[in-house]
Amino acid sequence: MTYSLVELVRLSSVPVDTIRFYQSIRLLPSPGRDGRNAVYEDVHLDRLRLIRSMAARGLSLKVIGMLLAKGERTDSDRALLTAIEEEAAEPTYGREEMAARLGIPHALLASMENAGLTEAVQQPDGATRYSEADLRVARGALKILGYGFPLTRLLTLAIRHDRAARKTVDEAIALFDRYVRKRGRDGVEGDPDAIARAFKEILPIVTGLVAHHFQRMLVSRALKRLKKSGQREPLKIALKVASETRLGVRWH
């Protein structure tokens, strides 16, 4: 069955501008042509509905694009998508509700988002939603500010960390794709459910490793700086606090 752009908008509930945006980033195939008129088919409608479903689960457009990049998904892709959706499934909040829950102005929320402290998920209708994890992190950031850290300095540091972390995350995804997901397609450990289980098991382990490494490095370098400064009493207190403070890492 074929549809005009107006019909596609009505059936998918996705605005014209959003449809064109999806086409520009290759989430949605280009339409066919009937003279000067664009012609859409069931594949376009199905794709828009799938994007809406995935976005409603909290997946970013980047992740959606990665999962849809190869067109027809294999069983392993479907199983992995289900696993990612399960991990992402949690309450979400619009900008107004997020700002209200944090008790901050919208402008400050925008600054935190730009710094990477929160990452709103863009919905098919153009709206943005924040996850429960975003809310927890933002509350933690506000608590840090309460200790007297300058907002501009904290945001600058957060931006630098966000840029470095994104590169690391992209490389980690590429490693999983190459050595777990694609290897499964070749028949070596090719069970789709096994790939999904691998994702569920690896995710908390990797998260724990990264958090543990950051905390150990932070504490170690802070202690070295205090030792170098010759401040014995602060160093003594810091050593005591460091010995009593341990990050809770869960190994599944």
Residue 117, pLDDT above cutoff 80: no
Can you give the pLDDT at residue 176? 86
> 40 pairs with which residues across the strands?
3
Helix (H) or strand (E) holding 122: strand 121-122
Can you give the pLDDT at residue 243? 66
- Decide: helix, strand or coil at residue 2: strand
SS3 content of the chain, % helix, strand, coil (to 5): 70, 5, 25
Can you give the pLDDT at residue 132? 74
Enclosing domain of residue 207: 191-252
Strand ordering across the sheet containing 37-41 = 2-3, 37-41, 32-34
Residue % of the chain over a pLDDT of 70: 73
Residue 232, pLDDT above cutoff 80: no
Overall pTM > 0.85: no
Per the rule left: phi > 0, alpha: psi between -120 and 50, beta: everything else, 246 is beta
Helix (H) or strand (E) holding 128: strand 128-131
| Average pLDDT score over residue span 78-92 | 61
| Average pLDDT score over residue span 78-86 | 61
Q: Are residues 186 and 197 in the same domain?
A: no
- Decide: helix, strand or coil at residue 30: coil
The answer to which of 90-99, 187-196, 208-217 has the lowest mean pLDDT is 187-196
Q: Which of 190, 222, 237 is the last residue of a domain?
A: 190
Q: What is the DSSP letter of 249?
A: -
Count: domains in the chain: 3
In-domain check, residue 84 = no
Residue 183, pLDDT above cutoff 80: no
Q: Are residues 182 and 105 in the same domain?
A: yes
Q: What is the pLDDT of residues 145-181, one digit of tens each?
A: 888 888 788 878 877 887 888 888 888 888 888 888 7
Can you give the pLDDT at residue 121? 62
Q: Which of 138, 157, 190 is the last residue of a domain?
A: 190
Q: Tell me the one-letter amino acid at 137.
A: V
Q: Are residues 178 and 203 in the same domain?
A: no
